[in-house]
Amino acid sequence: MNKDDCIVITGAGGFIAGALTRYYKEKGFNKIRAVDIKPLDQWYQTVEGVENFPGCDLKIKENCYKVCEGAVEIYQLAADMGGMGFIEHNKALCMLSVLINTHMLMAARDVGRVERFFYSSSACAYNTQLQNEAAVTALKEEDAYPAMAEDGYGWEKLFSERMCRHFTEDYGLETRVARFHNVYGPYGTWDGGREKAPAAICRKVIAAKDGGSGEIEIWGDGEQTRSFMYIDDCLHGIDMITHSDVREPLNLGSAELVSINHLVDLAEQVAGLKLKRNYKLDAPKGVRGRNSDNTKIKKLLGWEPGIPLAEGLAKTYAWIEQQHFDRKAGKRTVS
């Protein structure tokens, strides 16, 4: 790409797309269009020298055509989503993101010279029947079929993957798809119901330490397993996948499988304390186990996410701790 080519990043008021905006700006791209439905003062981070489109609802078709005008690359990360607590209780809301993805694909097809269209899918697109054990076999890309995705959010992701595939086949639009596996890091949701496990655990440990309760509530029995990818690995992976020749969906996640109990162990180590664990067995907890098989991305791109969870969690903890104390002091924080 030319450094003056237009890059459109949707969902830029959120965690991953906001970080992606900064990533491309720091790489020297001069014409970045950042789009989000939230007002600008609610964005997780803003980047100087970027053309911002706040308050822009991409479920409305006309808005998609407006923001895609002149674009050479489009990164479609806008979605109504959150952690498992949000996903399990807002299935219809998650499904409505199909309007954003469909309208963005139509706009990318029609506006002129879009060379790449990146779509952020999710490991929730995988067959849930393969994720019933904590000692799970890592999920390969072909395990999405036969389809039995996470209800609501996962089905929307899988459907939109198919839309990308068919827009490539029928219209020649070069689409790229990554299936994200639990991305975490600073400048992300850490409170309010949409946060994911690493942020939620850090927040709970910080609150327990600050308040002196000596206790932490854990959703489920703590033995459920996941892999968690630090944001810097995610950004590098998006860049590599978008500019590769790989048209099929690729896993983008760490292969470091851990239990939620071990995630709590790591947060406690950062905090320098041990807490009594209270298990909320009726809380939303998703599938029993999920991990990323990185065989294909290593074969095709010669790389896989590699930042250790302990390293990334320490950075995330430090940022959330600052947010916690800023909020107590009455300062504006990201939530």
Give the residue numbers marked as catalytic.
153
Structure tokens belonging to residue 182: 């639990």
Residues paired with 118 in a beta bridge: 75, 176
In this structure, the number of other CB atoms found within 10 A of the CB of residue 195 comes to 23
What Å distances lie between residue 182 and 158, 233, 287, CA to CA?
Answer: 17, 12, 13
Return the CA Rg of the chain.
19
DSSP strands (E only) in the chain: 6-10, 31-35, 51-53, 71-76, 116-122, 175-180, 183-184, 215-219, 225-227, 229-230, 250-252, 257-259, 276-280
Query: What's the DSSP call for residue 289?
Result: B
Structure tokens belonging to residue 217: 């509530």
Fill in the amino acid letter for 294: N
Give phi and psi for 246, each to the nearest 5.
-85, 115
Asked whether 215 and 264 are in contact (CB, 8 A), the reply is no
User: In angstroms, rounded to a whole number, what is the distance separating the alpha carbons of residues 184 and 64?
Assistant: 28
Residue 94 burial by CB count (10 A; 0-12/13-18/19+): exposed, middle or buried? buried
